[in-house]
Amino acid sequence: TSPESGWYEFSTSNTLIIKPRDFSISIISDEYTSAPSREGYVGSGEPALDFGYIVTTSGKTAADEVLIKVTGPAQVIGGRSYCLFSSDDGTAKVPFPATLSFITRSGT
């Protein structure tokens, strides 16, 4: 194994040495705000409410997997969780399915 690779090292003794990996990830709104918001209308033909984020990674070793979780008001319908959007006055609450997609630096 290489130093700082995060691999396990086994010696001839009964000792197990676990070296932690040095990962770092930053996910921020492309508007540089902690609470981005959008307004729109419900219905087919209406544009999507897109939220842009900047993902920056650093560290000595690349991650094999990144788990991203979005939290906020939600409603479960048929075992599936939907984002819950509310009117300004809070009287109307509409569940929407959400899709998470990624675009890499190369545009794919």
Find all residues with CB under 8 Å of 74, minimum gap 6, and list them: 81, 82, 83, 84, 95
DSSP annotation string for 7-38 = -EEE-SSS-EEEPPP-EEEEEEETT--SS---
- Half-sphere exposure at residue 102, Cβ-oriented, CA atoms within 13 angstroms: 9
- Residues 25-30 have a mean pLDDT of 84
Tens digits of per-residue pLDDT, 50-63? Answer: 888 888 877 776 66
And the tokens for 83? 């984002």
Task: Enter the pTM of the model.
Answer: 0.53
Convert the pLDDT of each residue in 34-54 to its tens digit.
Answer: 888 888 887 789 898 888 888
Three-class SS of residue 57? Answer: strand
